[in-house]
């Protein structure tokens, strides 16, 4: 019989992907071992690749136990839980599901913008409960003509910009480098926040972006401003955000990501001026199927040619 490459799955994957991987590789599921440390000690040396959803850290202490591991396939685009300087030094190739989830994440950003402004969740409650039979609905706020600021103009930021433009919104952004776009570039996040009616976060959760949305940025966003986060929870100083929401420093927030997922801070859950999503921006049937295929294709390519196909 042929020996299949040994792959370590460090957190549960969607069943369709798990099944595909099982067909092609000898899969070890780290989360299923009663004593993961013992498994790593005994069999870590034979692991050649890791698969992760990206929201559990690929710790350097883990990599040290996997000397033959030369590829990490991420089911997602965020590499914030992987130390890329270590993977680079060890020549471990890291693949991400590039370009696949861009539209879905941008759709959610605009969906949240519309849901917040046009009070979609409140109106559903109002209609469903029968309240409409005794009183008229309150008014909501117009989106067209408003200003939308995008922090991070990568593929996702750009897709958000195009959608906002189509809704008749004025768009500005921050990015490390100027882009050739019709949109106005702001020098820093505080300036962008001051411009914005809606401040949308679409930048990586890397160390340099940790807590860059702080009390000063929120103050600049102002009492009519709304924060939309489809990036990473750690980009926002959560204590500052909660205070700003409680005190009306900003109007509200719509969040898909949090610092301690899947746990959401109870203080946030009690607020009425927030919309809370369970990190579903990329969670459509279509996109998740393509993401699963991407993970499989990267690993198959790695094991047949020595190269992954969509590097981080
Ligand atoms: C997650 C994401 O990967 O791509 C990303 O960075 O945050 C998501 O697509 C997905 O939820 C799997 O955990």
- Tell me the per-residue pLDDT of 75-105, one tens digit each, with 9 for 90 and over: 999 999 999 999 999 999 999 999 999 999 9
Residues above pLDDT 90, as percent of the chain: 98
ipTM of the prediction = 0.96
- Tell me the per-residue pLDDT of 136-148, one tens digit each, with 9 for 90 and over: 999 999 999 999 9
Q: Please say whether the beta carbons of 96 and 291 come within 8 A.
A: no
| Average pLDDT score over the chain | 97
Cα separation, 225 vs 195, whole angstroms:
9
- Per DSSP, 311 falls in state B
How would residue 55 be classed by pLDDT, with cut points 50, 70 and 90? confident
Q: How would you class 262 by CB atoms within 10 Å of its CB: exposed for 0-12, middle for 13-18, buried for 19 or more?
A: exposed
- Quote the pTM value: 0.96
Given 26, 81, 90, 279, the catalytic residue: 279
* Sheet strand arrangement including 93-95: 26-29, 6-9, 49-52, 71-74, 93-95
Q: Is 282 in the pocket of ligand 1 (CB under 6 A)?
A: yes
Q: Is 279 in the pocket of ligand 1 (CB under 6 A)?
A: yes
- Of all protein residues, the one whose alpha carbon is nearest to atom 8 of ligand 1 is 76
Residue 1 pLDDT > 80, yes or no?
no
Given 53, 163, 232, 288, the catalytic residue: 232
Q: Is 51 helix (H, G, I), strand (E, B) or coil?
A: strand
- Per DSSP, 281 falls in state T
What domains appear along the chain, each with residue ranges and CATH number? 6-98+286-305 (3.40.50.720), 102-276 (3.40.50.720)
- Of all protein residues, the one whose alpha carbon is nearest to atom 1 of ligand 1 is 76
């Amino acid at each position: 019989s042929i020996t299949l490459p040994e792959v370590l799955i460090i957190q549960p994957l969607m069943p369709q992907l798990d099944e595909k991987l099982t067909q092609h590789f000898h899969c070890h599921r780290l989360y299923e071992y009663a004593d993961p440390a013992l498994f790593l000690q005994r069999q870590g040396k034979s692991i050649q690749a890791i698969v992760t959803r990206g929201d559990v850290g690929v710790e350097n202490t883990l990599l040290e136990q996997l000397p033959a591991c030369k590829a990490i396939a991420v089911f997602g685009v965020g590499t914030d839980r992987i130390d890329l300087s270590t993977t680079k030094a060890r020549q471990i190739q890291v693949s991400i599901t590039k370009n696949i989830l861009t539209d879905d994440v941008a759709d959610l950003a605009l969906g949240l913008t519309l849901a917040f402004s046009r009070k979609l969740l409140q109106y559903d409650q109002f209609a469903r409960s029968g309240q409409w039979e005794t009183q008229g609905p309150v008014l909501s706020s117009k989106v067209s003509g408003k200003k939308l600021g995008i922090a991070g103009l990568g593929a996702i930021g750009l897709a958000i910009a195009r959608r906002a433009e189509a809704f008749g919104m004025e768009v500005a952004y921050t990015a490390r480098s100027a882009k050739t776009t019709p949109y106005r570039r702001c020098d820093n996040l505080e300036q962008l926040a001051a411009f914005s009616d809606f401040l949308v976060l679409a930048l990586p959760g890397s160390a340099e972006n940790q807590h860059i949305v702080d009390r000063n940025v929120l103050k600049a966003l102002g009492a009519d401003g709304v924060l939309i986060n489809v990036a990473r929870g750690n980009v926002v100083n959560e204590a500052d955000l909660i205070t700003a929401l409680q005190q009306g420093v900003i109007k509200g927030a719509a969040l898909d990501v949090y610092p301690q997922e899947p746990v959401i801070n109870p203080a946030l859950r009690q607020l009425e001026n927030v919309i809370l999503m369970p990190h579903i921006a990329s969670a459509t049937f279509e996109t998740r199927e393509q993401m699963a295929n991407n993970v499989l294709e990267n690993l198959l390519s790695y094991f047949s040619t020595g190269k992954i196909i969509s590097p981080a």
